[in-house]
Amino acid sequence: MHTDAERCLRAVRSKDSRFDGWFYTAVVTTGIYCRPSCPVVPPKPGNMTFYPSAAACQRAGFRACKRCRPDASPGSPEWNRRADLTARAMRLIGDGVVDRDGVPGLAARLGYSTRQIERHLLAELGAGPLALARAQRARTARLLIETTPLPMADIAFAAGFSSVRAFNDTVREVYALSPSRLRARHTPGGGQAAPGGALSLRLPFRAPLNPDNLFGHLVATAVPGVEEWRDGAYRRTLRLPYGHGIAALAPRPDHIACRLTLSDPRDLAVAISRCRRMLDLDADPAAVDGQLRADPLLAPLVDGAPGRRVPRTADEAEFAVRAVLGQQVSTAAARTHAARLVIAHGDAVDDPEGGLTHLFPTAEALAGVDPETLAMPRTRRTTLTTLVSRLADGSLALGAGSEWAGTRAALLALPGFGPWTADIIAMRALGDPDAFLPTDLGVRRAAAGLGLPSTPAALTARAAAWRPWRAYAVQYLWATDDHPINFLPE
């Protein structure tokens, strides 16, 4: 979008927050960059230039606006809509791969050379992977500076910097303030220090957001010990690169209230990224609902409760295991099967604030399970053991950087994997916004009630008009039922 100057100018003049994260406005006379909805008086058009990313602005020598805090805006919805190299790289950078494994590690996961990745990111985002990771480190550092009493040296390494000097130089360059001055001028409104070493912050999103099916689905399918609904918040344990954490997420009219308790502060950026991805907070509801509303049979559903998101997951491998456990059984039975695995093979955690007890078991732990101990039909045992062994040995990779079509084909090649299982994993674990479930009983029942074709082939043909947002159409179709997944818990 940043190449369309006229469109960008209209967004800046209208201070339209829907475009936050789509592009950034750099003001050449002041040397700062802003989000489109910045509350200050817009500069003259000749003094504005537009960039596709905060990293590109920083690379060009601009510093972040202190009023609108552009680095805290929702992420670009492009990276959740696409499955090309650039989008996959951006999802992996958001998951901290560059900070942990460097650009060679990013390249290895994507199957491209470092030179190819550099060229693609520079062409589309105006910044390479190191600059993009640096911008994320600066954002994490600011959050820790403003919301925790941690010493600056601890913040530097927790944010991913290799030295205190690099941390100081980056903060001064990006925010035009030293770390100590940034902490001194902070006023409440972003993140806040919370008792017990927890961190409370606000996760922004593009309005509207309908929380009913989003939180309803996560809670109705919650695995005891790993997930729960308590005091108006969805809480779950997180397995993170350096340790573990507990996230509590509660819907608010203009943000998601997020409370994180981490065993290692270096996991902060990854934890935030996974929570945003799980709640689909970087989606563009205007684009999604606009296209679905064009179908006269879907329009009443969209108009009645706009802004539905796709409930996703914080751990792709975990969701794949749970999808197999849920084959041809009720939601309650799937939760029971998963809870047994958690108690037997999950890692125990302490949760003084609630009832969470375990991390979901890793694929490596489940690969060593005796199949005869699994209380399920023999064919499903084979499906589960094959899946976890492939995940454990690395021959099947499920993660933020997965290529959707190739991974779906790899899943369908496994014994016991049909289209429904592969597509529900593509939808909720891989994040494919166009994944569709024409054989799902709830979808077919809703389609018949609306006058849509109910046979899988005919419904798939009709749903071609909903592309590339068929996963969101599924949420609207499911919402016609009175199943608990469609209602925000009391």
The catalytic residues are 34, 440
Closest CA to 440 of 428, 452, 424: 424
Q: At what angle do helices 331-345 and 316-325 cross, to 10 degrees?
A: 120
Report yes or no: 214 and 334 within 8 Å, Cβ to Cβ.
no
| Structure token digits, residue 96 | 């901290």
Q: Which of 233, 231, 229 is nearest to 248 (CA)?
A: 233
Is 134 within 8 Å of 55 (Cβ atoms)? yes
HSE-CB of 473 using CA atoms within 13 angstroms: 33
151: Cβ contacts below 8 Å, ≥ 6 apart: none
The encoded tokens of residue 257 equal: 């209230």
* SS3 of residue 382 by DSSP: helix
Assign 383 to helix, strand or coil: helix
Name the pairing type of β-strands 24-27 and 32-34: antiparallel
Distance CA 365, CA 117 (A): 34
The SS3 assignment for 233 reads strand
Identify the three-state secondary structure at position 48: strand
Distances (CA, A) of 479 to 13, 213, 240, 486: 37, 7, 32, 6
Q: Is the dihedral of CA 34, 70, 286, 465 positive or negative?
A: positive
Please give the Cα distance from 490 to 476 (Å, whole number): 21
Task: Specify burial of residue 253 (Cβ count, 10 A radius: 0-12, 13-18, 19+).
Answer: exposed
Contact, 158 vs 266, CB < 8 A?
A: yes
Composition of the chain by helix, strand, coil, percent to 5: 50, 10, 40
Cis peptide before 208 (omega within 30 of 0): yes
Integer Cα distance of 215 and 229 in angstroms:
9
Contact predicate 316/398, CB 8 Å: yes
